[in-house]
Every structure is written in C-alpha cells, then in structure tokens.
C-alpha cells in the first residue's frame, strides 16, 4: 500500500536553499530602521516610511513594533495588502489616474483607511469630483512639488500651484498638503552637497506650503524625503513628516552616495557557482538579471560595481570581485577592471552572496526573504513580500 509523502520541512540553513535566493539580515535591518527613526525623532518630525522597497508586513512590524503606523506606498496592491494587516494611514506617492483614484477610494470605503492621493495638474484635480460621487468618499490629496528638476511636480512659485489647489477644493476633495522628493540627491557624493540638498528640499517645500496658506489653504501636511536627504537633513523647521524607503536595506548606490557603508547593506542574493572560464578570468553563478535585476545604478558613480559586489557565503566581501556581466539566469564574476587582485578559489558548488546596486529592484525579483542574522548560516524565518500593482 502506498503511503502519503511527508511534507518537506522549510530550509533551516542557507546551505539547504535552492539558489538564487534572497537573504535579509535581520540585525542590519533593525540597525538601519533605528538609525533613521532616531534621526527623525531628533528633528521633531513624523517618519512615514516608504514600504516600496520591503513590501512585507514582517518588515513593517520591525519598523512599527507597537502596531501599525503611517506609511507610504508606491502601488495600490501595497495599499490593499497593508490595509489587510491593519494599516490605515497611507500616502500613495504616485501621480493619480482616474482609475487608480477610484480603486484607492474603494479601498478606503471597504476598510476605513485613509489613502492620500498625489497630483500636480488641474485635470487630475477635476477628476476627483467623479471619484467622490462614485465612491461616496471624500479624497484627501497632496500636491506634488518639484524641488530639484528630478521628476514630476510643480515648482513652489508656479502659478498653477494655487490653481490646482483651488480646483481640488472645487471638486469637493480635501487638500491635505504638499509632498516633495529630492531624487537628484542620488547623484551626489559628499556630506556638504547632501546637507545642501536637504536644506534646499526643505526650503522649497515649506515655501510652497506658505504660498498655499497665504492663498487660503490650510496645508497641514508638509512631507518630504529621499533616503540621502532624510539622513543628511540638519533642520526640518516647517516640515511635518519625513519619508524614505531604501534606508531599511540600503544598497551599493546609497554606499556610493555616502549614506551607508557596505556593512549596512541588509539584503543579498545567495548564488551557487556553476562553472568557470579560467582563460577569461570568469566564474559563472546561477544568478543573472532575473535574480539581481538589470539595475546598473552605480555605473554613473565614481566606482562602478557592475551588477553587484560579491561576498563569500557568510557575507564577507571578496575584494574587487564583482558581477561584471549578467544574462537571464547567469552571472559572470570577475575582478574589477584596473585591480591587481586575483580571483579567489570558488569551485563549482560553492556559494556566494551578491550585494545589490538597487535594493528595491533586486528584492522585486523575489517572492520572499530568507531571514538570517550576520554571518550565521541559520534561517530564522521566511518573510513573504507583496508583488504587482
């Protein structure tokens, strides 16, 4: 008689993981979370962490151990996911479309959550009237500001700022305030430049709020932040909340900017050596751009890290070894150009950890984190992450 197969136990050690696999170092995560929380507290502002990097309720619980707090999301799938776990105060920090606004307000109607929307045009403001009528929910919105010519948004002195604000109110919506993101800070690399960028972001955002108030709008929320400026801000007078996301994990781009050390990077991909080309100085691993992402954010920095920096199995950096090339499921490890180092002995079957250029992009390739702590091989937990839009 055939017996039922016993269910397999989840991996207890990284040695048991099928590669490539995403690792998250809990100790580094907790340290990174505490660093920015302490900084926001000293500056006297609310920290509204962006969950677009982590996309995980388990990570959110490390950020908010006492229970749900204010968060930022980048997709409505995230908003729905975190609402299902009790989060009620969310900012959807992507410019709204009529369809996304309807979906967000339906979520508010079902759950009692408040999802603040983002806009910067009169057309978006006018669409709010239909959203309010269709859902019975009064939308709360933030006007997006352009503080450094990085992306969308309105300049503080743009006449359309007050026009958009007036149209929001005319549509029967609630103008909650203004929101800025100093994305150009990712291109900086000195403390002086980052401090100046943080102050420029603050001054521009506060000025926009003051203009709106002078025009008769209360503008209670003054929200700003990027991971670099959040960490280098020295004065946030006039600001009510600070946002950042990748700070929980950090990555090689943030290391190149000067916000973190390589030892602060909390995520990596575990990969196995599957071949070699000694005549070319190559070692092949089973992690290509499907596991690491195509992000090459360090290519424009002083040090180009290829597709990621390579560490040994317990996370110690192998000096000047990078993923120099990547195809769909293969990565090529080689010595950084110009280095006098030689390739370490990595026989077929050995394991390496690869640090990300961009933690958001690397994590997005995976469905869960295998949680570890430091150099130990033990797996403490498996944390699922939300995907999609």
- The pLDDT score that the predictor gives to residue 127 is 97
- The pLDDT score that the predictor gives to residue 207 is 98
Q: How crowded is residue 337: how many other Cβ atoms within 10 Å of its Cβ? A: 10
pLDDT in tens, 212-226: 999 999 999 999 999
Q: Give 368's pLDDT tier (boundaries 50, 70, 90).
A: very high
Q: Inform me whether the pLDDT recorded for 5 exceeds 70.
A: no
Count of residues making up the chain: 389
Q: What is the mean pLDDT of residues 16-44?
A: 98
Q: How crowded is residue 299: how many other Cβ atoms within 10 Å of its Cβ? A: 11
Query: What is the rounded CA–CA span in Å between residue 333 and residue 322?
Result: 6
- The pLDDT score that the predictor gives to residue 4 is 55
Which is it for the CA torsion 149, 153, 156, 159, positive or negative? positive
Q: Inform me whether the pLDDT recorded for 260 exceeds 60.
A: yes
- The pLDDT score that the predictor gives to residue 389 is 97
Query: What is the rounded CA–CA span in Å between residue 39 and residue 144?
Result: 24
Q: How crowded is residue 240: how many other Cβ atoms within 10 Å of its Cβ? A: 17
pLDDT in tens, 129-156: 999 999 999 999 999 999 998 888 999 9
Query: What is the rounded CA–CA span in Å between residue 11 and residue 81?
Result: 26
DSSP 378: B
Query: What is the rounded CA–CA span in Å between residue 184 and residue 149?
Result: 8
- The pLDDT score that the predictor gives to residue 97 is 97
**pLDDT, averaged across the chain:** 96
pLDDT in tens, 73-113: 999 999 999 999 999 999 999 999 999 999 999 999 999 99
Q: What is the mean pLDDT of residues 196-210?
A: 98
Structural domains present in the chain: 44-249 (3.20.20.10), 266-384 (2.40.37.20)
> Which residue shows structure tokens 């990712």?
186
Query: What is the rounded CA–CA span in Å between residue 13 and residue 66?
Result: 30
Q: Inform me whether the pLDDT recorded for 3 exceeds 90.
A: no
Q: Give 10's pLDDT tier (boundaries 50, 70, 90).
A: confident
Find out whether 14 and 370 touch, Cβ atoms under 8 Å: yes
Helix, strand, coil shares, percent, the chain, to 5: 35, 25, 40
Q: Is the peptide bond before 160 cis (omega within 30 degrees of 0)?
A: no
Q: Give 258's pLDDT tier (boundaries 50, 70, 90).
A: very high
What end-to-end distance do the CA atoms of the chain give, in Å?
48
DSSP 66: T
86 φ/ψ sector (left φ>0, alpha ψ -120 to 50, else beta): left
Q: Inform me whether the pLDDT recorded for 1 exceeds 60.
A: no
- The pLDDT score that the predictor gives to residue 7 is 61
Q: Percent of the chain having pLDDT more than 90?
A: 96
> Which residue shows structure tokens 């269709």?
134
- The pLDDT score that the predictor gives to residue 9 is 78
């Amino acid at each position: 008689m055939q017996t039922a197969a016993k269910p397999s136990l989840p991996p207890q050690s990284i040695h048991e993981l099928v590669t490539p696999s995403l690792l998250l170092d809990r100790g580094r995560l907790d340290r990174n979370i505490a660093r920015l929380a302490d900084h926001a507290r000293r500056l006297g502002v609310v920290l509204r962490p962006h969950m677009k990097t982590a996309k995980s309720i388990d990570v959110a619980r490390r950020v908010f151990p006492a229970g749900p707090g204010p968060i930022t999301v980048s997709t409505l799938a995230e908003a729905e996911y975190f609402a299902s776990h009790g989060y009620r105060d969310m900012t959807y920090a992507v410019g709204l479309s009529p369809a996304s606004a309807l979906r967000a307000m339906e979520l508010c109607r079902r759950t009692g959550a408040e999802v603040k929307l983002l806009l910067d045009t009169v057309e978006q403001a006018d669409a709010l009237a239909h959203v309010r009528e269709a859902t019975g929910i009064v939308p709360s919105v933030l006007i997006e500001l352009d503080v450094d010519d990085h992306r969308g948004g309105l300049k503080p002195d743009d006449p359309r700022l007050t026009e958009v604000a007036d149209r929001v109110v005319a549509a029967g919506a609630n103008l909650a305030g203004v929101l800025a993101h100093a994305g150009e800070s990712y291109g900086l690399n000195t403390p002086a430049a980052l401090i100046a960028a943080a102050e420029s972001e603050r001054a521009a955002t506060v000025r926009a709020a003051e203009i709106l108030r002078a025009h008769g709008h209360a503008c209670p929320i003054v929200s700003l932040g990027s991971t670099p400026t959040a960490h280098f801000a020295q004065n946030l007078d006039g600001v009510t909340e600070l946002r950042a996301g990748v700070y929980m994990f950090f990555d090689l781009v943030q290391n190149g900017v000067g916000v973190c050390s390589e030892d602060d990077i909390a995520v990596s991909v575990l990969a196995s050596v599957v071949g070699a080309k000694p005549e070319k100085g190559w070692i092949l691993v089973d992690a290509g751009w499907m596991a690491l992402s195509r992000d090459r954010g360090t290519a424009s920095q002083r040090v180009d890290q290829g597709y990621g920096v390579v560490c040994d199995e317990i996370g110690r950096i192998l000096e000047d070894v990078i993923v120099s090339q990547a195809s769909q499921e293969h990565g090529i490890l080689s010595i950084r150009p110009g280095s006098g180092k030689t390739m370490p002995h990595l026989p077929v079957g050995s394991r390496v950890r690869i640090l990300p250029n961009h933690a958001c992009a690397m994590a997005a390739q995976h469905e869960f984190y295998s949680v570890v702590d430091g150099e130990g091989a033990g797996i403490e937990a498996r944390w699922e992450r939300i995907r999609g839009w």
